[in-house]
Amino acid sequence: MKKWIALILALAGAAWGFQKWRALPPQSATGENSSHPATALIETRNINFAVTAAGDIGPSEQVSVRPEINGKILKLPVDLGDTVKKDAVLFTLDDQDLQTTRSFKQTQIQGAKLQVEKARRDFARSQQLFAEKLVSEELFEDTRTIYELSKNSLEAAEKDLHLVEYQLTKTQILAPFDCTVLTRPVSMGQAVSGSAGFNSGTEVLTIADLNQMIVNAHVNQADVTRLTTGQEVGIQIDSVPGLKIKGTVERIAPQAAIKNGVKGYAARILIKEIDPRVRPGMTANISVPVSSSPNSVSAPLAAVFTEQGERYVYVQKPGGDEFEKRTVRVGISDYDYAEILEGLQSGEVVSLVDRATKGTGPTGVKPAPKAAGATTNAAPRTASSS
């Protein structure tokens, strides 16, 4: 019997709760009961529009050091991270075989010179005898040919010697500029191939000038027209929190490229002041100021609506119960606010929902159209006046 009484009481409570729920007033169409504000106050503020992009830091000058000739590493005085001055020795190849070859070529030249001298004397004697008609013309021409061939042999031997001496100058590799050693994939005693050989030679070192650093950025095609060479750039380094440095736009690629599925243009940003904590390979975020409007009458982007090219807002009338639609002229915008050139004054209240479509959404208000100046997954654009 007690179970039946408890069941009757539970059903009566549920019926009473349902009636109370139905008696509650519907949620306000303006969103007063929502956790998000439905209105905003028009105020003056500074609006700054900037083009943003991400990139990687790297040295402006980086060289893969490879020998020009084949050989074996004899000396390798530098290692990873070493700072090297210009014209300092980076590495030296073993030149013993070349020294032996040079001695052999020098001996060949001495013998060739003796052959030339002997052939010259024979030719001079044959020429005199031929003039006196004591030898035949055939013998005279043979001595001339031998003399010319001996001179050719001497010239070839001298060229061979010059080649060996040139190769000897390539056994010692010097730093082309003040640099830092980034990589050293080989060790002393290892055989390496010259750059004229297979696979463009063996990479012995990678060096770079870390006193001149750049940011290689990928700028969205919608923003690249706002960039010009010489513009000042703000740079933030992800790996060094709080570090902000300056740079300038040095170059902008004329041809578009696709990176991470986004079409854009490569831009090279020259870093003005090098912080010792900044290293090649770090990720940087750049910000290029494009336009600004100080102390301008501003409205939230969510309050500005567009219909058939017309920009408008809903302004709260005195008393606070009704709103009027008002056309506005928009200037520049940032991520949150748009500059209002005409149509609003500081201190007025505007609606953040589209009053013309209220009552059609799940909460009594249809979701508002995209606000003027707002873009999806992209930086805000400069709004054109209308």
Domain boundaries, the chain: 53-60+212-290, 62-94+171-208, 96-168
Q: Could you write out the DSSP letters of every residue in 209-226?
A: -TTSEEEEEEEETTTGGG
State which fold the 96-168 domain adopts.
Helix Hairpins (1.10.287)
Do the beta carbons of residue 292 and residue 49 sit within 8 Å? yes
Residue 6 φ/ψ, nearest 5 degrees: -65, -40
Q: Which residues is 267 bridged to in the sheet?
A: 217, 252
Q: Which amino acid is at 109?
A: I
- Predicted TM-score (pTM) above 0.85: no
Rounded CA separation 155/153 (Å): 5
Q: For tokens 């402006």, what's the residue?
A: 60
Superfamily of domain 53-60+212-290: Efflux pump adaptor protein, beta barrel domain (2.40.30.170)
Tell the residue number behind the tokens 């084949």, with chain if given: 70
Q: What is the pLDDT along the chain (386 residues), one digit of tens a residue?
A: 555 556 566 666 666 565 655 554 444 444 444 456 788 888 988 888 888 899 999 998 899 999 999 999 999 999 999 999 999 999 999 999 999 999 999 999 999 999 999 999 999 999 999 888 888 999 989 999 999 999 999 999 999 999 999 999 999 999 999 999 999 999 999 999 998 766 788 999 999 999 899 999 999 888 888 888 998 999 999 889 888 899 999 999 999 999 888 899 999 999 988 888 899 999 999 998 888 888 888 999 888 998 888 999 999 888 777 888 999 999 888 878 888 998 888 888 998 888 776 533 332 233 333 333 333 333 343 433 33
> Among the CATH numbers 1.25.40.10, 2.40.50.100, 3.30.70.270, 2.30.40.10, which is that of 62-94+171-208?
2.40.50.100
Asked whether 213 and 235 are in contact (CB, 8 A), the reply is: no
What is the spatial distance between Cα 338 and Cα 375, in angstroms, rounded to a whole number?
13
- Topology match between the domains 53-60+212-290 and 96-168: no
